[in-house]
Amino acid sequence: MLRRSSVTRSSPTREMGQPVATAVIPFTSADTLLDRALQSVLAIDEIDEILLVDDGRGTSNPLDLRSDRAKVIKNSGVQGALGARLWGMANASSDLIVFLDSDDEAIPHGIQKLLNLLRTSPELILGYGNIQLGQRVKEMYPT
């Protein structure tokens, strides 16, 4: 998660009519877990805008968005996941950006803590957190 501007300033708020945070999720047509990633972000009230970014490789993924908070945009710049993240960031309406891979699931309390930290500490420009491995992943990769 990051703040787009390195210049210290107040973060957007709902009162200003801007999204509190924008989630950027790059995807390809082969992403079978994209809907799970989308649903996990939709569960977080502080994320007002969700940009699902086609990675620019000419793929398409028919999505039933079921939310006016989410939209699909096509990357017309650098292709691949990095290019899609940069394109999503450039098209975001908020200064607070949450990055999520299409095969990940957002953990609401973790995202909320990071957003609160960035909102209350305008000198910070970046926040990150740990991942949690689900039981299925632990079974696939035992230690």
The model's pTM:
0.78
SS3 31: coil
pLDDT tens digit sequence for 49-90: 999 998 766 555 556 667 888 998 888 766 788 889 999 999
Distance CA 74, CA 8 (A): 31
- How would you class 15 by CB atoms within 10 Å of its CB: exposed for 0-12, middle for 13-18, buried for 19 or more? exposed
- For residue 140, name the pLDDT band (cuts at 50, 70, 90): very low
Distance CA 142, CA 115 (A): 33
- pLDDT at position 26 over 60: yes
Give the position of tokens 């790059």. Answer: 26
pLDDT tens digit sequence for 102-126: 888 888 788 888 888 887 888 888 8
SS3 74: strand
